């Protein structure tokens, strides 16, 4: 197996995600990824994990926040890194938002539980988080996962309106099934027809999905090095591995594309720096 | 424009009188009104700690300090004077001002006068209001219910309340909402105006890095208060412009 110095596979099934090149690329901005959805079980924690792994592989170890103090799913996946916050407490709101807004090169990922979403976005709005973050070279991005129903698109539309100064990536999750016809005719769905920032979580073989859902499996380790662990604790088969890597690689490319687009847009809006 | 005197007072301590005064100073500054403030909490001066540039500590019981406030009204470039009356001295201050002829000047139209009476939740507050009413007849009288410290006004029975307010058509009710305790404490520690806390300024004018979340709470709260002062037409009343519908 050919691996590069940084440990990425150069196999043909996936392309390695390209971290922004400090030499030729734009000045570095860090990303605050806010993962949210209207309903539970939409794949928020999965996407939050993948985002975290994307940043780890890009050499930018992210700060991770789990807003579900009861379930702590992101924390289960990253026990050493994820900070669990209870947004009913002002102290925890401070821990979360004051870290999110801090000027630093590290990226940040927040898994916004649908139970905590109302409060999260209220504090985000009242603290003018997006404007302050951008002033400190931190680019906030809401990843809003939609499902088959019109209300999820409507919720995304309202968020986009409410946070005009914050990028919103519409995430369609193929696991959740085909979008209903009624949804397609809804104003919420149609509001996103020309929306450029969007990505899809593609389907994955259910058996391979079981492996992903094993919270102790590090997806970034999986990309970096051979694994001994597979479904049922056995080694991963060649096919499972290829499936998984292909699936992840595609999502990483999408994340790379949308975060790059957000950074480029931010730079075009920001006043020219020194 | 006529000189304006706005007094903020309470008979009981601990109802947040100085906090209300601070919100008024922030509000007036946001409306570009030039203001001077007198802190009658002689010799301690809580208000002066937060607004040192515009605040003078006075002992309202002395003739010298009364002159400092009243005799300068006509000549001062700054037309709005806000006086934070020491707790427990509201009644006495009003009496003294009557004796020195202050209210005669108000009645003669020399300047405008408003009183913001910060009341507590108990029935005793209603007695306070009754005591103050004779002085404020025909003047701008604001009864301020202060929820900053989460006071609940459960003791205010509507019937009793209405009885007290018979013949007080001029009284305007103002509600100050609650501010998150942690945010309030941080501003106390900073010792700066609320608006400076929001703008990340410390007392020497330098930039600080206050909590984004706490600044958000204070900003939202200030906006609610500003909306409330707008609603009751605080400035219009004090400036004798067409009063907004209360």
Which pLDDT belongs to residue B129? 79
Q: pLDDT > 90: what percent of chain B?
A: 45
- Asked if A143 is an interface residue toward chain B (Cβ–Cβ < 8 A), one would say no
Cβ of A97 within 8 Å of Cβ of B219? The answer is no
DSSP state of B118: E
| H/E run at residue B59 | none
Q: Is A268 exposed, middle or buried (0-12, 13-18, 19+ CB in 10 A)?
A: exposed
Indicate the domain borders of chain A: 30-204+253-266
CB contact under 8 A, A94 and B180: no
Q: Cα(A228)–Cα(A251) distance, rounded to whole angstroms?
A: 23
Confidence of residue B244 (pLDDT cuts 50, 70, 90): very low
Q: State mean pLDDT over A158-167.
A: 95
A20: left (phi over 0), alpha (psi -120 to 50) or beta: beta
Mean pLDDT of B106-115: 90
Closest Cβ–Cβ partner in B182, B211, B220 for A126: B220
Pick from A90, A98, A101: CB nearest B180? A90
Predicted pLDDT of residue A6: 40
**A24-34 average pLDDT score:** 74
User: Would you tell me which CATH number, out of the four given (3.40.50.150, 3.30.1360.70, 3.90.420.10, 3.40.50.300), belongs to the domain B4-173?
Assistant: 3.40.50.300
Q: Are A159 and A144 in contact (CB under 8 A)?
A: yes
Mean pLDDT of the region A33-38: 97
CB contact under 8 A, A98 and B219: no
Q: Is the pTM of this model over 0.95?
A: no
**pLDDT at residue A51 greater than cutoff 70:** yes
Phi, psi for residue A55 in degrees, rounded to 5? -70, -35
Q: Is residue B50 scored above 90 in pLDDT?
A: yes
Lowest mean pLDDT among A122-126, A185-189, B69-73: B69-73
Q: Chain B closest CA to A37's CA: distance in Å?
A: 23
Fold of A30-204+253-266: Rossmann fold (3.40.50)
Residue A115: pLDDT over 80:
yes
Indicate if ipTM > 0.90.
no
pLDDT of residue B155: 59
Smallest CA–CA separation between A149 and chain B, in Å? 33
Task: Taking residues A212-219, report their average pLDDT.
Answer: 76
Inspect the interface and report whether the beta carbons of A127 and B182 lie closer than 8 Å. no
What confidence category does residue B136 fall into, taking pLDDT thresholds of 50, 70 and 90?
confident
pLDDT band at B152 (very low <50, low <70, confident <90, very high): low
Of the segments A1-5, A70-74, A210-214, which one has the largest average pLDDT value?
A70-74
Q: How confident is the model at residue A9 (pLDDT cuts 50, 70, 90)?
A: very low
| A85, two tokens | 């916050």
DSSP of chain A: --B-TT--B--TT-PPP-PPPTTTSPPP-EEEEEEEESSSSSSHHHHHHHHHHHHHHTT-PPEEEE--TTT-HHHHH-TTTEEE--TTSHHHHHHHHHHHTS--S--EEEE--TTTHHHHHHHHHHTTHHHHHHHTTEEEEEEEEE-SSHHHHHHHHHHHHHTTTSEEEEEEEGGG-PPPHHHHTSHHHHTTTT---EEEE----HHHHHHHH-TT--HHHHHHS--S--GGGSPPPHHHHHHHHHHHHHHHHHHHHHHHHHHHHHHHHSPP--
CA dihedral B148, B149, B150, B154 (to 10 degrees): -100
Q: What is the pLDDT of residue B66?
A: 86
- B246 pLDDT more than 60: no
Chain B residues touching residue A129 (CB < 8 angstroms): 212, 216
Question: Which residues have C-beta within 8 Å of that of residue B30, sequence separation ≥ 6?
Answer: B195, B226
Q: Which residues of A touch B216 (CB under 8 A)?
A: 97, 123, 126-129
What pLDDT is stored for residue B245 in this prediction? Answer: 43
Top-confidence residue, A198 or A224: A198
Mean pLDDT rounded to a whole number for chain A: 84
For A132-145, the pLDDT digits (tens) are: 999 999 999 999 99
Q: How confident is the model at residue B217 (pLDDT cuts 50, 70, 90)?
A: very high
Q: What's the CA gap between B184 and B191, in Å, rounded?
A: 11
Q: Could you read off the pLDDT of B183-208 as tens digits, one per residue?
A: 999 999 999 999 999 999 988 888 99
Is A32 within 8 Å of chain B by CB? Answer: no
Is the Cβ pair A94, B183 closer than 8 Å? no
- pLDDT band at B63; cut points 50, 70, 90: confident
Average pLDDT score, chain B:
86
């Amino acid at each position: 197996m050919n691996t590069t110095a940084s440990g990425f596979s150069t196999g043909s099934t996936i392309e390695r995600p390209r971290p922004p090149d400090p030499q030729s690329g734009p000045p570095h901005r860090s990303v605050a990824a806010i993962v949210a959805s209207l309903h539970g079980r939409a794949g928020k924690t999965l996407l939050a994990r993948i985002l975290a792994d994307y940043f780890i592989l890009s050499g930018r170890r992210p700060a991770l926040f789990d807003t579900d103090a009861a379930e702590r799913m992101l924390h289960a996946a990253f026990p050493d890194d994820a900070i669990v916050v209870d947004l009913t407490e002002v102290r925890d709101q401070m821990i979360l938002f004051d870290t999110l807004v801090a000027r630093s090169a590290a990226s940040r990922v927040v898994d916004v539980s649908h139970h905590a979403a109302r409060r999260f976005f209220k504090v985000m709005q009242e603290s003018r988080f997006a404007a302050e973050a951008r002033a400190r070279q931190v680019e906030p991005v809401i990843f809003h996962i939609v499902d088959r129903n019109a209300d999820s698109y409507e919720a995304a539309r309202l968020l986009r309106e409410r946070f005009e100064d914050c990028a919103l990536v519409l995430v369609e999750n193929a696991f959740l099934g085909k979008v209903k016809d009624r949804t397609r005719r809804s104003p919420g769905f149609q509001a996103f027809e020309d929306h450029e920032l969007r990505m899809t979580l593609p389907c994955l073989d259910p058996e391979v999905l079981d492996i992903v859902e094993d919270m102790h499996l590090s997806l970034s380790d999986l990309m970096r090095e051979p694994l001994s662990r597979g479904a049922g604790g056995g080694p991963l088969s060649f096919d499972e591995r290829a499936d998984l890597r292909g699936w992840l690689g595609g999502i990483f490319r999408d994340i790379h594309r949308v975060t790059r687009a957000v950074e480029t847009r931010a730079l075009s809006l920001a006043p020219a720096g020194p | 424009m006529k000189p304006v005197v706005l007094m903020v007072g309470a008979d009981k301590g601990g109802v947040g009188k100085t906090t209300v005064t601070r919100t008024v100073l922030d509000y007036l500054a946001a409306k570009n009104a030039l203001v001077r403030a007198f802190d009658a909490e002689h010799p301690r001066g809580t208000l002066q700690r937060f607004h040192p540039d515009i605040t003078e500590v006075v002992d309202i019981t002395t003739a010298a300090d009364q002159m400092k406030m009243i005799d300068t009204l006509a000549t001062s470039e700054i037309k709005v004077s806000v006086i934070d009356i020491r707790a427990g001295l509201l009644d006495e201050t009003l009496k003294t001002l009557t004796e020195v002829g202050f209210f005669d000047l108000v009645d003669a139209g020399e300047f405008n006068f408003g009183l913001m009476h910060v009341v507590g939740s108990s029935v005793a507050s209603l007695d306070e209001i009754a005591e103050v009413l004779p002085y404020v007849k025909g003047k701008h009288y604001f009864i301020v219910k202060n929820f900053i410290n989460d006071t609940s006004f459960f003791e205010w029975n509507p019937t009793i309340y209405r009885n007290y307010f018979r013949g007080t058509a001029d009284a305007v009710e103002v509600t100050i909402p609650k501010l998150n305790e942690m945010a309030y404490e941080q501003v106390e520690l900073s010792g700066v105006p609320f608006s400076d806390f929001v703008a990340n300024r410390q007392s020497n004018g330098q930039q600080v890095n206050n909590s984004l979340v706490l600044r958000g709470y204070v900003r939202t709260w200030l906006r609610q208060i500003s909306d409330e002062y707008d609603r009751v037409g605080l400035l219009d009343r004090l400036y004798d412009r067409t009063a907004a519908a209360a």
